Structure 1
Amino acid sequence: MQQPLAYRMRPRNLDEVVGQQHLVGEGKIIRRMVEASMLSSMILYGPPGTGKTSIASAIAGSTQYAFRMLNAATDTKKDLQIVAEEAKMSGTVILLLDEVHRLDKTKQDFLLPHLESGRIIMIGATTENPYITINPAIRSRTQIFEVKPLTEEDIKKAVESALHDKERGLGTYPVQLEEKALLHLSRATNGDLRSALNGLELAVKSTPANDEGTILLTLSVIEECVQRKALTHDKDGDAHYDVISAFQKSIRGSDVDAALHYLGRLVEAGDLAIICRRLMVIGYEDIGLANPAAAARTVNAVLAAERLGLPEARIPLADTVVDLCLSPKSNAAYVALDEAISDIRIGKAGDVPDHLRDSHYKGAKELNRGVGYLYPHGYEDAWVNQQYLPNKLKNAHYYKPKSTGKYEQALGQQYQRIQEWKKKNRQTAPLTESDN
């Protein structure tokens, strides 16, 4: 029985890894570890199909070590013992341990001394956050790396490589993949390369050749094989981004009906990951301080949607869209931050005032560090008039409160109150040094 295409196309070395250049690119951490022959146990976490197993396979292929694969949920302690015995004989074994967050205490206790000695180099793979789900004893003996969803270009590159590879891929088949079909394959799988390659293989092997002897893969064929409909059949392939843009702008404009319409189109296309990411952006970008509770509810709804999966995920998503549409809205906080960043980028920064500098070291006082700092909690209303911004920016005002929600109204009132205190007490502010 032939292995699936995604299995056959696993990288044999780091150069063949698709994406994840923040880990395996030139000068990056995993490549440095391999090139220096200083491998250590690690945990790779991220969404399914993004390359965790591929990285482990590539690491093993770039070394002379034996490579074994186990599953923490289904394989037994005896399976681990077999790997440990092999490591004793051969020196070192690289062990890919899938679902490492499911490792029970018995298996963990057996594994720990082998990780300590370096006899077993464990590469744990998980879709869960390891800082929450993995035992501290394992975490303390591993390095933790996040594996990110692949981009459209990453998926396209891998698909084209599989189509041309005659040894492991589909290069012996007379395939013609339409551009629109390739675009949909790269988008519809939401960064999951395994799904993209397996959908491609199904399309190639289940589509009969035409009269010219060509296996023509059209958009409709790919839609059927990945079970995801394209948003529309527009010739330029822009509908995907147009619908996402319209979705956010409809919520920003408080049009519930339009927002639900665009949500429906994204749900029909199966774009759960895109919907969830966009809703969290909207919660903080467009709702913001006008209604922080709505942003928090959005995060909870996204977590529920991700756990439920489609079609049930549409229920918390619909609740959230209505909530965000009808919520008061404010972008004041992030606009203020962008203005501050803009000043920094054009060189308007300046030195931190001496009275705010760190004074927790010997000799700080002689350098005037921290001298004259006034502790706000020692004053009425936990406020005292002193300068915090560098001299170059001491009169800068970035935050401009909005009055669209009760929460930000209260923040705005406190902000205005502090500005009035500053005006009254300006003459009592501590002296600060001039910027160089």
Structure 2
Amino acid sequence: MKNEPLAYRMRPKTIDEVISQAHLVGPKAIIRRMVDTKRLSSMIFYGPPGIGKTSIAQAIAGSTQYKFRQLNAVTNTKKDMQLVVEEAKMSGQVILLLDEIHRLDKAKQDFLLPHLESGKIVLIGATTSNPYHAINPAIRSRTQIFELYPLEEDDIITALKRALADSENGLAEYNPEVSDEAIHHFAMASYGDVRSALNALELAVLSAEQNDDKRQVTLEDAKVCIQKNTFQHDKDGDQHYDVMSAFQKSIRGSDVDAALHYLARLIEAGDLPTIARRLLVISYEDIGLASPGAAARTLSAIEASERLGFPEARIPLSQAVIELCLSPKSNSAITAIDQALSDIRNGKAGLVPKHLKDGHYQGAKELGNAIGYKYPHNYENSYVEQQYLPDTLKNKQYYEPKLTSKSEQKFAEIYNNLKSNKK
């Protein structure tokens, strides 16, 4: 039995063996061009775990015949990096794969920078975090940044079948007989993580019953060997914020099916507090005055889901999402308050009109405060015309009604009638 995991043994030796990431290593793609001309520049790979960051780095080294060294930005020391630099000085260019590069401290960074400048070290940083958020600008400015994507199911099936047929590094020596249903389950349940799929396949083959010198792997074996919890969702990671963004934008765009998809991803991650907060924000920000009751019903659904907990919480949450998607939309409330805040922050405040100032203290009248204020309840329909905004803003209009619903059309009618009375 081979000691290294199957995913490690099956890593591509050259660029031609890389599966997927055609936007980087396909014909005429940028990394392919670098390899073909042996004009490598330092780069950063980012994306979810198990999608080939290390594999592509090793494939680049294999295709160019450059020396390859792998370190970790956290666990390896500056001395370890110094050994790589000394090797580069002695033997020429060295490719250094640096895992978790977003956690590189300043001392190690300062040590590496001049060697990146000279080109002796070709740095390939690997990270699951968005480098534009997580990596120091000094490193970013000296590297090209490439995003890697989760593999499609067909790509993972290709990798699995390659491993089954490989007698040197793969599983062919065990004469495996893996059903198509099992292969497809490994590919589907790995959520684009080829490392997870390969290692689960190896476990299934090695633990399978031997029948007529064959090891047969069924769908049931596949389900046991690759568990559902490989779904990737880091509550503190970039993917989390991307899902939250897509969730809100799908509701705002009235796409029920997309919104339910992203809700399901958040439910699968068990992230009820974030779902609750986001739904409440959406009910006011995107539906708003077009359906004022939606916010109250959303809050009721949130309270019900918090009392129920998962899995039952999915029911009121689904109901709230469907209603918000299919409700008329208006952002007039958030637009209005943001315009008002913008004026305040830009120094456009002005003095409170004297007739609106507090008059409940001795000496207020001597200052001219609260004199001339008209109490609206003393007038017909509890309305009387008078100035409320400061003089510098007295003709300012912040609220601009959206006529997308009967509800806001009614608000708009009242608002416009009141505005016309002031003219």
TM-score normalised by length of structure 1: 0.61
Correspondence for 1:108: 109
Tell me, in whole angstroms, the C-alpha distance in 2 between the residues paired with 1:31 and 1:220: 40
Q: How big is the shift at 1:311?
A: 6.0
Is the 8 Å Cα contact of residues 252 and 329 (structure 2) preserved in structure 1?
A: no
User: Larger radius of gyration, structure 1 or 2?
Assistant: 2
Q: What are the equivalent positions in structure 2 for 1:377-392 lying under 5 Å apart?
A: none
> Does 2:166 correspond to 1:201?
no
Opposite residue 148 of structure 1, the aligned amino acid is: Y
Cα offset for 1:194? 0.5
Count matched residues: 296
Query: Matches of residues 65-104 of structure 1 in structure 2 within 5 Å?
Result: 65-104=66-105
Q: Deviations over 1:8-40 (max 9, x none)?
A: 111011111110000000000100111122100
Written as runs of structure 1 = structure 2, the 5 A alignment for 1:29-178 is 29-178=30-179
Secondary structure of 1:184 counterpart: helix
State the partner residue of 1:284: 249
Question: 1:324 Cα deviation (Å)?
Answer: 2.0
Give 5+ residue unaligned stretches, structure 1. 229-268, 334-379, 383-399, 418-436
Deviations 1:314-355 (A, max 9, x none): 66455764542342536999xxxxxxxxxxxxxxxxxxxxxx
Quote the Cα distance in structure 2 between the aligned partners of 1:193 and 1:111. 31
Rounded to whole Å, the distance in 2 between the matches of 1:18 and 1:168 is 16
Asked whether the equivalents of residues 270 and 310 of structure 1 are also in contact (C-alpha less than 8 Å), the reply is: no
Contact kept, 8 Å, 1:287 with 1:329, in 2: the verdict is no
1-side partners of 2:110 and 2:174: how far apart?
49
Contact 2:72 2:100 in 1 (8 A): yes
1:39 and 1:153 map into 2 onto residues whose CA distance is 30
Residue 322 (structure 2) aligns with:
325
Report if aligned partners of 2:100, 2:125 keep a CA contact under 8 Å in 1.
Answer: yes
* 1:57-103 per-position Cα deviation (integer Å, ceiling 9, x unaligned): 11000112100000101111111001000000011100000010010
Q: CA deviation at 1:272?
A: 5.4
Aligned ranges for residues 325-344 of structure 1 at < 5 Å? Answer: 325-327=322-324, 329=326
On the 8 A contact 1:152/1:186 being kept in 2, the answer is yes
Q: Identity rate of aligned residues, in percent?
A: 51
Q: Answer yes or no: is the 8 Å Cα contact 1:287–1:330 preserved in 2.
A: no
Cα distance, 1:143 vs structure 2: 0.1
Query: Are 1:8 and 2:9 an aligned pair?
Result: yes
Contact 1:286 1:330 in 2 (8 A): no
Amino acid at match of 1:183: H
TM-score relative to the length of structure 2: 0.62
In structure 1, the partner of 2:218 is: 218
CA distance in 2, matches of 1:287, 1:14: 42
* Cα drift, residue 288 of structure 1: 3.0
C-alpha change, 1:279 and 1:106, in structure 2 (3 Å) is closer
Q: Give the AA of the match of 2:227.
A: Q
- Structure 1 segment 241-256 matched on structure 2, within 5 A: none
Q: Distance in 2 between matches of 1:48 and 1:175?
A: 27
SS at match of 1:39: coil
SS, match of residue 163 in structure 1: helix
> What is the match of residue 248 of structure 1?
none
- Deviation track 1:165-206 (CA, whole Å, cap 9, x = no partner) reads 111111111111111111111010000010000001111111
| Equivalent AA in structure 2 for residue 224 of structure 1 | V
What letter matches 1:34 in structure 2? V
